[in-house]
Structure 1
Amino acid sequence: MNTPTLPVLTGTAVTLRPITDADTDLIVKWRNTPSVVQNFIFRQTFTPEMHRSWLATKVATGQVVQYIILDNADGKPVGSVYYRDIDNHNRSAEYGIFIGEESARGKGIGTETARLFTQFGVDTLHLHRISLRVLAENAAARRSYEKAGFVQEGVFRDMELLDGAYRDVVFMAKLAEN
């Protein structure tokens, strides 16, 4: 499948650009950072091979659209945002984001990224429903998602067994405005 050329998205605080193989080392570093891992349900050690397989089997086939988040203050990459499980029939996808650079957290970068990327999802990818899953204890992320227009749809109690303890998972979604 040929993926259309994806645009660069520019906001006030962030610029989002499509991921490339050259980003592999950064993604691997970020995904293995303890402060990132603690907010992920998938906690296996992340390797360059895993990332390149993801690029080849998911991104290259259009099942995933993944971007790198650049901080406009200095132009440096600080994280990644993506849609996975893109369902063209139902015009839906699951949203995911992580800010890999600790110095970039708490500055509204995630919220602006969510607004920019969901607008792109609706306008360019023609998504109607954008959903996400977040660990219930990740209050900062939940607040950021709400600011970006996501609405809580449910709490799945004790859904994930992580580090020996059951964790609640909150499901949220944002719908295209009719």
Structure 2
Amino acid sequence: MWVRDDTCGLGPYRADLVGTYWRWEQDPALLVGYGRQQPEPLEARTEGIAHQLRGSNIRFTVYDLTGETPVPAGVTTLLPDSAVRTAEYVVMLAPEARGKGLGTAATRLTLDYAFHITNLRMVWLKVLAPNKAGVRAYEKAGFKAAGTLREAGYWLGQVCDEVIMDALASDFTGFSAVVTLVD
């Protein structure tokens, strides 16, 4: 684990978990949440992971630490724009990991890493407006609503707004797993 708290840890993005990542990505609730209309074949996902592992994006496997052994439970990704020291944030949780606070914990740990290791000044995301659970989890982790893209997404076949949220390094206060590692 690179960064952790009592319930959640972030570790390396792993090629040997491609089948697991793919299974999570094909979950209908995740497809709705991302506004995607079609699944992806495992073969295409397997081909794509090599590119992802070599790319400049920052990817973590999220681990559930509440049991006896760490269990992969999702992925978080930072898509950095190094010219302006910002990044877009994306999270994906396994169906069995949702509703346990892991999304909030993983998001907070990823922000901690972004601000204290990568030295980003701002992280932003887009979330479909009807995804109320996602919006609440992001707010608990430190994101704030910054604007709306009107009719930019789809939710269950209906056009919907996308909410833009951001988190600033200057606003990131409270417990830091990174700072406690170096103190």
Normalising by structure 2, report the TM-score: 0.85
Structure 1 residues 26, 171: closer, same or farther in 2, change over 3 A? same
Q: Deviations over 1:32-77 (max 9, x none)?
A: 0112111013343123344344433344121x11111111022111
Distance 2:47 2:36 in 1: 16
Indicate the percent of aligned positions where both proteins have the same amino acid. Answer: 28
Pairwise mapping of residues 44-83 of structure 1 onto structure 2 (< 5 A)?
Answer: 44-62=38-56, 64-74=57-67, 75-83=70-78
- Give the root-mean-square deviation of aligned CA atoms: 1.8
Q: In structure 2, what is the Cα distance between the partners aligned to 1:161 and 1:38?
A: 8
Number of matched pairs: 169
Q: 1:89 aligns with which of 66, 69, 83?
A: 83
Which runs of 5 or more structure 1 residues have no equivalent in the other structure? Answer: 1-6
Aligned to 1:141: 134
AA aligned to 2:128 is L
Task: Map 1:142-161 to 2 at 5 A.
Answer: 142-161=135-154
- Corresponding residue of 1:121: 114
> Does the aligned pair in 2 maintain the 1:79–1:101 contact within 8 Å?
no
Indicate the structure with greater helix content: 2
Structure 2 CA distance for partners of 1:107 and 1:39, relative to 1, 3 Å? same
Amino acid across the alignment from 2:59: Q
Identify the residue that residue 181 of structure 2 maps to in structure 1.
none
Q: Which runs of 5+ in 2 are unaligned?
A: 172-183
Shift of 1:164: 3.8
Tell me, what secondary structure is at the counterpart of 2:34? coil
User: Per the alignment, do residues 175 and 50 of structure 1 end up closer, same or farther by CA in structure 2, a change over 3 Å counting?
Assistant: farther
CA separation of 1:139/1:164 partners in 2, compared to 1, >3 Å: closer, same or farther? closer
Asked whether the 8 Å contact 1:70–1:76 carries over to 2, the reply is yes
Q: Is the 8 A contact 1:133 1:170 kept in 2?
A: yes
Write out per-residue CA displacement over residues 108-136 of structure 1, whole angstroms, 9 at most, x where no aligned residue: 11111111110101111111110000000
CA contact (8 A) 1:59 1:65 kept: no
Q: Is the 8 A contact 1:96 1:132 kept in 2?
A: yes
Q: TM-score, normalised by structure 1?
A: 0.87
SS of the counterpart of 1:79?
strand
